[in-house]
Amino acid sequence: MHFRSSLSLRDIFANRLPEGRDSVTKRVVGRAGVLLIFLVKFILTCGLLYTLTNWISSSFHELINCLTATTVGLLLRVLGVNASVHDVFIWLDGFSVKIITECSAIFLVILFFSFVFAYPTSIRNKVVGLLFGIPALFLVNLLRISLILVVGARFSSLFQYAHVYTGQILMIFMVFSISLFWLRLVLLVPTKDSPFSFFIRFIASSSLPFLLWLYLHKRYVLAHLHAIGFLLSPFGYDLTLPANLDIYPVTFNTFNVVAFTALILATKSIDRRVKVKGLLAGLAVLSMVHFIFRLLESLFLTFGVASAFGPFVAFIIINEWILPFVLWLIIVNKDIFRKKGILTCPFCRSEKTGIVQHIVARRGKEALLP
C-alpha cells in the first residue's frame, strides 16, 4: 500500500528531502563538524579572554571590585536593607564581606560571550544576545551577592554554604539558562528545555547532590592529596597534608561536580541511557582534571616549582569555568545545535522537518508515489 500525496516528485526533490539512512548519516556528521568548530572557537575565546583578564593590571580589578561593592550597596538600600560600603568591603549588621574579582560577573560574562561568539549564527543575533545577556548576568550576580550578605548577617554559620552554592553552582547554571533563553527567543532554536522549567529542574536536581557533596568534598580532596603525596615521594617531595580542608579556599572548586550532575539530570532532551553514560564519563573527566589541578597546586604553591605556574593557572580556568560548560554542551549538542524547522518525529523519535520527510526517511521516496 502506498501513501498518496499531493506533492510531486519534482516538489520533493526541490525541497532536497533526505534519503533514508544516508540523510541521518549526513546530519550526524554535519552536526559533529559544527560541534567541533564551535568547541574550538569557544575554548580558544575563553582561554584568550581569561588570560587577558589575568594580565590586566591590578588597578583595573580593584576598580571592578569597587564598582561591584558600590552597586551591591545601592541595591540593598533600594531593597530597604541598610548596608555600608567602603572600597571593596560591604558591612551589614556587623557582618562584612570583601569583594574580589571572582565575586564579580566578569568570568561569567566571558563564558557567555564565548558561547555567543562561537555559536553559528549571524552577527545581528550575536549582538542581540550580548546586549540582553551581559546586563542580565551582572544583575543576577548583584542579587546573588546581596542574598549571601543577608544570609551571612542573619545566619553566619550558613554563609559559606550559601556562598559556594550560589557562586560555584547557581551562577554557572545562570550562564546556561541565559544561553538557552537566547537560543529559543532570538534564534528560534526548538530546544526541548525552556529556561524556566530548566531552572526549576536544576534547583531540584542540585539539592541532594549538593548535600551529599558537603559530606564528601573533604574526603575527595584528601584522597587526591594522598595519591599525589605517594606519586611525588620518589622524587624527593614530601607532601604534608593540610590541617584544614575548608570549602574556602581549598575545596570550593570541586563543587562543579554538583553543577555538572544537576545540569545533566535537569536537561529534558537527554534520555536516561545517555544521562547515565554522560554522567559517568563527565565525572571521570572532572575527577582527572581535579587531580591534575591538585598536583600542579602542590608543585607550585608547596614546593615552589616555577615551571608549574603556567599550567596551574590554566587548570584553574579550565576546571572552574570552562570544563562543566564544555562537557554539558558535548552531551546535549543534538538539542543545542538543532536547526530551525527540525523537530522530533512523534512516531520514530528521530529528527524530521515534517510528515513527508518522515515517510521518505522510513519508507523511501516510492511511498509517496500515487
How confident is the model over 300-355, as pLDDT tens digits? Answer: 999 999 999 989 988 888 888 789 888 988 888 776 776 555 555 545 545 555 55
Question: Which residues partner with 91 through β-bridges?
Answer: 84, 96
pLDDT for 339 equals: 58
Task: Report how many domains make up the chain.
Answer: 2
Output the pLDDT for position 165. Answer: 96
Q: Average of pLDDT values for 138-145?
A: 96
pLDDT of residue 71: 96
CA distance 207 to 288: 24
Q: What does 236-261 look like in DSSP terms, one character per residue?
A: T--PPPPS---IIIIIGGGTHHHHHH
Domain end point (choices 149, 178, 207)? 149
Average per-residue pLDDT for the chain: 84
Q: What is residue 187's three-state secondary structure? A: coil
For the chain, the helix, strand and coil percentages under 3-state DSSP, each to the nearest 5 = 75, 5, 20
User: Which of 96, 127, 149 lies at the terminal end of a domain, its last residue?
Assistant: 149
The bridge status of strand 84-86 relative to strand 89-92 is antiparallel
Q: Is residue 112 part of a domain?
A: yes
Task: Evaluate whether residue 237 is within a structural domain.
Answer: no
Last residue within a domain, chosen from 130, 149, 168 = 149
The residue segments making up the domain with residue 360 are: 340-369
Residue 47 within a domain: yes
pLDDT at position 1 is 41
Nearest to 64 by CA among 110, 101, 89, 97: 101
Name the band, by pLDDT with cuts 50, 70 and 90, for residue 242. Answer: confident
Instruction: Give the residue among 330, 329, 323 at the shortest CA–CA distance from 292.
Output: 323
Q: Could you read off the pLDDT of 86-115 as tens digits, one per residue?
A: 999 999 999 999 999 989 999 999 999 999
- Establish if 15 belongs to a structural domain: no
In a domain? residue 235: no
Beta bridge partners of 86: 89
In a domain, residue 41? The reply is: yes
- Cβ-count burial of 316 within 10 angstroms (0-12 exposed, 13-18 middle, 19+ buried)? middle
Q: 298 or 195: which carries more pLDDT confidence? A: 298
Question: Is residue 358 in a domain?
Answer: yes
d(CA 157, CA 169): 19
Q: List the one residue out of 195, 179, 199 whose CA is nearest residue 187.
A: 179
Tens-digit pLDDT profile for residues 46-94: 989 988 887 887 888 899 999 999 999 999 999 999 899 999 999 999 9
- Residue with grid cell 529528527, as numbered in its chain: 351
pLDDT of residue 31: 64
Q: How many residues does the chain have?
A: 370
pLDDT band at 212 (very low <50, low <70, confident <90, very high): very high
Under 8 Å between Cβ of 212 and 146: no
Report if residue 46 sits inside a domain.
yes
